[in-house]
Structure 1
Amino acid sequence: MKSDFKFSNLLGTVYRKGNLVFTEDGTKLLSPVGNRVSCFDLVKSQTTTFNYQHRKNIQCIALNKQNNLLISIDEDGRAILVNFISRVVLHHFNFKSRVNDISFSPCGKYFAVAVGRFIQVWKTPDFTEDRQFAPFVRHRIYSGHFDDVLSISWSENSKYFISTSKDMTARIYSLESSDKDVARTFSGHRDYVVNAFFSKDNDTIYTVSKDGALFKWEYIEAPKESDDDEEEEEEEEEDGPREWRITSKNFFYANAKLKCATFHAQSNLLVVGFSNGEFRVYEIGEDFVLIQQLSMGQNTVNTVNINKTGEWLAFGSSKLGQLLVYEWQSESYILKQQGHFDTMNTLCYSPDGARLVTGSDDGKIKVWDVASGFCLVTFTEHTSAVTQVQFAKKGNVLFSSSLDGTIRAYDLIRFRNFKTFTATSRIQFNCLAVDPSGEVIVGGSHDTFEIYVWSVQTGQLLDSLTGHEGPISCLAFGQEDSTLASASWDKTIRIWNIFARNQTTEPIEVQSDVLCLSMRPDCKEVAVSTLNGHITIFDIEDAKQVHLIDGRKDLINGRYLEDKFVSKKSSRGKFFDTITYSFDGLTLLAGGNNNSICMYDIDNEVLLKRFLVSENMSLDGTLQFLNSAKITDAGINSDLIDRNGENSDLEDRIDNTLPGSQRLGDPSERRTRPAIRVSAVQFSPTTLAFAAATTEGVLIYLVNQELVFDPFDLDVDITPETTIQSLKEKEFLVALVMALRLNETYLIHKVIESVPLSDIKLICQDLPVVYVDRVLSFIGELLVKHDSPHIEFYLIWINNLLIRHGTYITSHKFEFRSSLKLLSRFLNKIAKEVVNVGKRNNYLLRFLTVSKDLKENVEEDIELSNEDEEDIMDDGEEEIMDDGEESEGEWLGPDSINMKQTGRPLAFSMEVDSDGDGDGDGKDEDL
Structure 2
Amino acid sequence: MVSNKSYTLPFSHRCNINRVALSPLGKILISIDEDGRAILTNFPRRITLHHFSFGGPTSALAFSPTGQYIAVSIGRLVEVWHTPKSPESATDKGLEFAPFVRHRTYAGHHGEISHITWSSDSRFFLTAGKDQIVRIWSLVPERDFIPTTLTGHRDSVLGAWFSDDQEKIFTISQDGALFEWSFMSNAVDNSDPEHDLVDREQLQWRIGQRHFFMQNNARTTSATFHSGSRLLVVGFSNGLFRLYELPDFNLIHELSVSQNAIDSITINSSVEWLALGASKLGQVLVWEWQSESYILKQQGHFDNVTDVVYSPDGTRLVTTADDGKVKVWDSQSGFCIMTFTEHSSCVTACQFAKRGQVLFTSSLDGSVRAWDLVRYRNFRTFSSTTRLSFSCLAVDPSGEVVCAGSEDSFDIQIWSVQTGQLLDQLSGHEGPISSLAFAPSGDTIASGSWDHTVRLWSIFGRSQTSEPLQLQADVLHVSFRADSRQVAVSTLDGQLTFWAVSEGTQIASLDGRHDVSGGRKISDRRIAANVAGTKSFTCLAYSPDGSCVIAGGNSKYICLYDVRSGVLLKNFVVSVNLSLDGTQEFLNSRNLTEAGPRGLLDNEGGASDLEERIDRTLPGASRGDASRRRTRPEVRVQALCFSPIGGAFCAASTEGLLVFALDSALQFDPFDLDLDVTPAAVNGAIARGDCLRAMILAFRLNERSLMRRVYVATPLTDVALVVSSLPTVYLSALMGLIIHMINDSANLELNLRWVETVLRLHGPYLKESSQDYSSELRSLQQLLDRIQKHLTWVAEENSHVLEYLSSRTGSAGKPWSDRRNMMEQHLPSSTVM
Q: 1:783 to 1:850 in 2, by over 3 A?
A: farther
Q: CA 1:731–1:168 in 2, change beyond 3 Å: closer, same or farther?
A: closer
- Structure 1 residues 331 and 732, CA gap change in structure 2 (3 angstroms): closer
SS of equivalent residue, structure 1 residue 778:
helix
Contact 1:410 1:416 in 2 (8 A): yes
Supply the distance in 2 between the matched residues of 1:319 and 1:903 (Cα, whole angstroms): 61
Kindly indicate whether the alpha-carbon contact (under 8 Å) linking 1:279 and 1:293 is maintained by their aligned counterparts in 2. yes
**3-state secondary structure, aligned to 1:72:** strand
2:213 is aligned to 252
Gaps of at least 5 residues in structure 2 are 87-92, 808-814
Contact 2:265-2:275 within 8 A present in 1 as well: yes
Match for residue 416 of structure 1 among 377, 385, 402: 377
> How far apart, CA to CA, are the structure 1 residues paired with 2:566 and 2:47?
36
Mean CA deviation greater in 554-563 or 94-103? 554-563
**Aligned to 2:741, what secondary structure does the other structure show?**
helix
1:456 equivalent in alignment to 2:410: no
SS at match of 2:529: helix
Between 1:744-753 and 1:692-701, the stretch displaced more is 744-753
Q: Within the alignment, does 1:211 sit opposite 2:172 as a pair?
A: no
Contact 1:657 1:670 in 2 (8 A): no
Report 1:354-373 matches (<5 A).
354-373=315-334
Find out whether 1:516 has 2:441 as its counterpart: no
Question: Are the counterparts in 2 of residues 564 and 626 from structure 1 also a CA contact under 8 Å?
Answer: no
User: Counterpart in 2 of 1:305?
Assistant: 266
Contact kept in structure 2, 1:776 and 1:820, CA below 8 Å = no
Q: Which residue of 1 aligns with 2:113?
A: 149
**Partner SS, residue 579 of structure 1:** strand
Q: Which residue of 2 aligns with 1:99?
A: 58
Q: What is residue 620 of structure 2 aligned with on the other side? A: 660
Q: Does 1:64 align with 2:23?
A: yes
- Given candidates 633, 638, 643, the residue that maps to 2:598 is 638
- 3-state SS of the aligned residue for 1:46? coil
Distance (whole Å) between structure 2 residues aligned to residue 510 and residue 825 of structure 1: 44
Could you say which residue in structure 2 is the equivalent of 1:568?
529
Please list the CA deviations of residues 177-229 of structure 1 after superposition, one character each: whole Å capped at 9, or x if unmatched. 2447331111111111111110000000011111111111111234159xxxx
Shift of 1:826: 4.5
Kindly state the Cα deviation for residue 515 of structure 1 after the two structures are TM-superposed: 0.2
Q: Which AA in structure 2 matches 1:251?
A: F
CA contact (8 A) 2:666 2:733 kept: no
User: 8 Å contact 1:382–1:402 — kept in the other structure?
Assistant: yes
Which residue in the other structure is 2:33 paired with? 74
SS at match of 2:409: coil
Task: Give the one of 787, 791, 794 matched to 2:751.
Answer: 794
Does the aligned pair in 1 maintain the 2:158–2:172 contact within 8 Å? yes
Identity of matched residues, %: 47
Relative contact order, CA 8 A, sep 6+: which one is greater?
1
Q: Is the 8 A contact 1:709 1:744 kept in 2?
A: no
Question: Which AA in structure 2 matches 1:437?
Answer: S
- Quote the residue 1:278 is aligned against: 240
From 435, 460, 468, give the equivalent of 1:499: 460
Matches of 1:236 and 1:308, distance apart in 2: 34
Distance across 1 between alignment mates of 2:194 and 2:244:
44
Cross-structure match for 1:201: 165
Answer yes or no: is 1:701 the counterpart of 2:663. no
Q: How does 1:455-854 map to 2 (within 5 A)?
A: 455-633=416-594, 636-665=596-625, 671-709=630-668, 749=708, 753=712, 756-757=715-716, 776-784=735-743, 787-798=744-755, 815=774, 816-829=777-790, 832=793
CA offset digits 1:327-346 (Å, max 9, x no partner): 11111111111011211100
2:144 is the alignment partner of 1:176? no
DSSP-derived class of the 1:325 partner: strand
**Structure 1 residue 645: deviation in Å?**
2.5
Q: Which amino acid aligns with 1:165?
A: G
- Give 1:282's aligned amino acid: Y
Q: Is the 8 A contact 2:358 2:372 kept in 1?
A: yes
- Which residue does the alignment assign to 1:161? 125
1:426/1:797 CA distance change after superposition, 3 Å:
same
Check 1:150–1:792 CA distance in 2 against 1; reply closer, same or farther (3 A cut). same
Which letter maps to 1:790? N
CA contact (8 A) 1:559 1:621 kept: yes
Q: Matched residues in 2 for 1:505 and 1:466: separation?
A: 9
How much does 1:270 deviate?
A: 0.9
1:858-873 alignment to 2 at 5 Å? none
Distance 1:740 1:852 in 2: 51
Contact 1:777–1:822 (CA under 8 A) maintained in structure 2? no
SS of the residue 1:485 aligns to? strand
The one-letter code matched in structure 1 to 2:168 is: T
Change (3 A) 1:194 1:761: closer
**Comparing 744-753 with 677-686, which one deviates more in the overlay?**
744-753
Residue 508 of structure 1 aligns to a residue whose secondary structure is strand
Shift of residue 481, structure 1, vs aligned partner: 4.3
In 1, the alpha carbon distance for the partners of 2:688 and 2:50 equals 53
- Deviation per residue, 1:212-264 (Å, 9 max, x gap): 11111111234159xxxxxx999997656322111111111222111111011
Equivalent-residue separation in structure 1 for 2:823 and 2:235 (angstroms)? 68
**Amino acid in the other structure paired with 1:327:** E
Give the Cα separation in 2 of the matches to 1:478 and 1:626: 44
* Residues 764, 219 of structure 1: alpha-carbon distance in 2 compared, 3 angstrom cutoff: closer
Alpha-carbon RMSD = 3.7
Q: Measure how far apart 1:672 and its partner are.
A: 2.7
* Residue 268 of structure 1: aligned partner: 230
Is the 1:582–1:683 contact (alpha carbons within 8 Å) kept by the matching residues of 2? yes
Choose the corresponding residue for 1:432, options 381, 393, 396: 393
Once the two structures are superposed, residues 108-167 of structure 1 have per-residue CA deviations (whole angstroms, 9 ceiling, x without a partner) of: 1111111111111111111444432x3211111111111111111111111111111111
Tell me what 2:89 maps to: none
Q: In structure 2, what is the Cα distance between the partners aligned to 1:76 and 1:411?
A: 46
> Can you list the C-alpha shifts for 1:644-666, whole angstroms capped at 9, x where unaligned?
23433333222323222123558
Shift of 1:176: 1.3
Change in Cα spacing, 1:771 to 1:903, as seen in structure 2 (3 Å) is closer
1:288 pairs with 2:230: no
Give secondary structure in 2 for the equivalent of 1:824.
Answer: helix
Q: Deviations over 1:23-43 (max 9, x none)?
A: xxxxxxxxxxxxxxxxxxx11
How much has 1:542 moved relative to structure 2? 2.1
Map 1:124-143 onto structure 2 (within 5 A).
124-127=83-86, 128-132=93-97, 134-143=98-107
Say if 1:646 and 1:789 are closer, same or farther in 2 by CA, change over 3 A.
closer
- Name 1:191's counterpart in structure 2: 155
- Residue 78 of structure 1: how far off its partner (Å): 1.3
1:553 match: secondary structure: helix
Normalised by the length of structure 2, the TM-score is 0.89
Kept in 1: contact 2:72–2:79 (CA 8 A) = yes
CA distance 1:826–1:661, change in 2 (3 Å): farther
How much has 1:304 moved relative to structure 2? 0.9
Contact kept? 2:223, 2:232, Cα under 8 Å: yes
Which moved further from structure 2: 806-815 or 565-574?
Answer: 806-815
The answer to which of 843-852 and 348-357 deviates more is: 843-852
Q: Which residue of 1 aligns with 2:336?
A: 375
Residue 619 of structure 1 aligns to a residue whose secondary structure is coil
Q: In 2 relative to 1, CA 646–794 (structure 1 residues): closer, same or farther, beyond 3 Å?
A: closer
Q: 2 CA distance for matches of 1:480 and 1:810? A: 24
Corresponding pairs, count: 809
1:548-575 deviation per Cα after TM superposition (whole angstroms, max 9, x unaligned)? 1111111252111211333233222111
